[in-house]
Amino acid sequence: MTEPDFLRSTRASYDAVAAEYAKIFHHELAGKPLDRAMFAAFAELVRAGGGPVADIGSGPGRVTEHLHGLGLEVFGVDLSPEMVALARRTHPGLRFEVGSMLALDLPDGGLGGLVANYSIIHLPEDRLPGAFAEFHRVLAPGGHLLVAFQVGDERKHLTERFGRRIDLEFHRRRPDHVADLLVKAGFAMTAQLVREPMEGSTEPTQQACLLARRPA
């Protein structure tokens, strides 16, 4: 089957910027207490039910490592082989695999939790239901989902980042719209955080973090 163009260009773009992205975002969570609070709540919910966690679109593995530090058995999956190689070098004790959230190489119902931290932002609108169906399929009944993304209505096309030429689409989204799609995919909503951009950060918009669960 031929791969859609957006996956090819997203992969090539993140391959090109992997090293710079890792350097810039390495310590980012340290300055984001509300993001850490949502990860902490997610971790507590998952620990209560048990089961492994997949960090989907794990990039350099900074969130994977953070979740590991919260006591979760976690592994990462990313579209970009360069990101996966970098994550493996940086976090040799954790597992990272190349893969796409649209066709996860994971069995049905095997996960206690799934995190997609700023990775659905590169999916075209018509691909969101397919991704959420995959998330639902791989989570065990009672499993928990965390999805974070920038709030807004814009679709942007980036041709340069960190001095590298790229070809990357990203989408800002309304939390209620994403929550509607999650419910249509079979999830029950747990919580929605919308926070203002952090002072002194490069964030141009509000940021959303949604918690949902596959009903038991």
Q: From 95-103, 137-145, 183-191, 199-207, give the range in contact with ligand SAM by CB under 6 A.
A: 95-103
Smallest separation (angstroms) from ligand SAM to the CB of 55: 7
134 binds ligand SAM (CB under 6 A): no
6 binds ligand SAM (CB under 6 A): no
Position among 78, 210, 212, 214 found at the interface with ligand SAM (CB under 6 A): 78
Q: What are φ and ψ of residue 33, in 5° steps?
A: -60, -35
Q: How many other CB atoms sit within 10 Å of the CB of residue 188? A: 11
Helix (H, G, I), strand (E, B) or coil at 216: coil
122 binds ligand SAM (CB under 6 A): yes
**What does the longest C-alpha to C-alpha distance in the chain come to?**
47
Helix ranges (H only) for the chain are: 5-25, 33-49, 62-69, 81-90, 128-138, 175-184
Site for ligand SAM in 144-203 (CB under 6 A): none
Residues 45-64 as x/- pattern, contact with ligand SAM by CB under 6 A: -----------xxxx--xx-
Smallest separation (angstroms) from ligand SAM to the CB of 71: 19
Residues 6+ apart with CB under 8 A from 178: 120, 128, 147, 149, 208, 210
Give me the residues that bind ligand SAM (CB under 6 A), please: 7, 10, 14, 25, 56-59, 62-63, 78-80, 83, 100-102, 117-119, 122
